[in-house]
Amino acid sequence: MSLWNTELNRSSIHLAVESSCGGTSLGIQLARQVIEGGGRVLWASPEIPNPTRFSQIFSGIDLTASSRFHATNLVGNVDKAFKSLSNSAKILPNVELVVIDDYAPKIGVIPKDIIVAVNDFVSQASWTTLLISKGGVSMSGEPLVARAANKIKTDQIWLLTRPDSDSKRKLFIGDEKVDLILKESGFHC
């Protein structure tokens, strides 16, 4: 069983997740993948990733390489926060991934000001953007839906689910279903 990775091709990804299924861990793992490849990562979220979880997934990455991970709080005026993040991504060298975790309320309709700021950010990106938010309940038999999928303009929609109470996860990337197992070191396939 090997650590899962995927090709990141400067696209925008809307990752909708079930609560407590590992969305932040998946973002950290993709950040590790980018840093191992020599790239730089910006992470924006209302809260910094759990330090224990971060150190588990980043285990084995040397200190110099891990210095290419930059975290910032995504708080206050939404428009200003996203513009500041965009400026940082354009100024810092070799930014390949920007992760925006928990950018929307956990339930309900995503507010219009957030949708506008996200779409503006994504439209200017020359890096891969990963947007992580809680998904919504599907009325059509799907395991989960990405809230505001018809309003947030991303290239791809991914869904991460936890079908049972164990460490098995299912990641839906378009029509493809990837079976994953969440371990301390990250997602394995």
pLDDT tens-digit series, residues 96-120: 999 999 999 998 999 999 999 999 9
Beta strand 176-183 with 186-188 is antiparallel
pLDDT of residue 44: 97
- The pTM score is 0.95
Specify if 61 maps to a domain. yes
Q: Decide if pLDDT at 158 tops 90.
A: yes
Mean pLDDT (the chain, rounded): 95
Q: Decide if pLDDT at 3 tops 80.
A: yes
Specify if 63 maps to a domain. yes
Provide the 3-class DSSP secondary structure of residue 31. Answer: helix
pLDDT of residue 99: 98
* CATH classification at residue 142: 3.40.50.300
Give, as one character, the DSSP assignment of residue 17: E
Mean pLDDT of 61-75: 93
Q: Could you give the number of structural domains in the chain? A: 1
25: enclosing H helix or E strand: helix 23-36
Structural domain boundaries enclosing 139:
12-159
Cα dihedral 182, 89, 93, 187, rounded to 10, equals 0
Specify if 136 maps to a domain. yes
Q: What Rg, from alpha-carbon coordinates, does the chain have?
A: 16
pLDDT of residue 2: 93
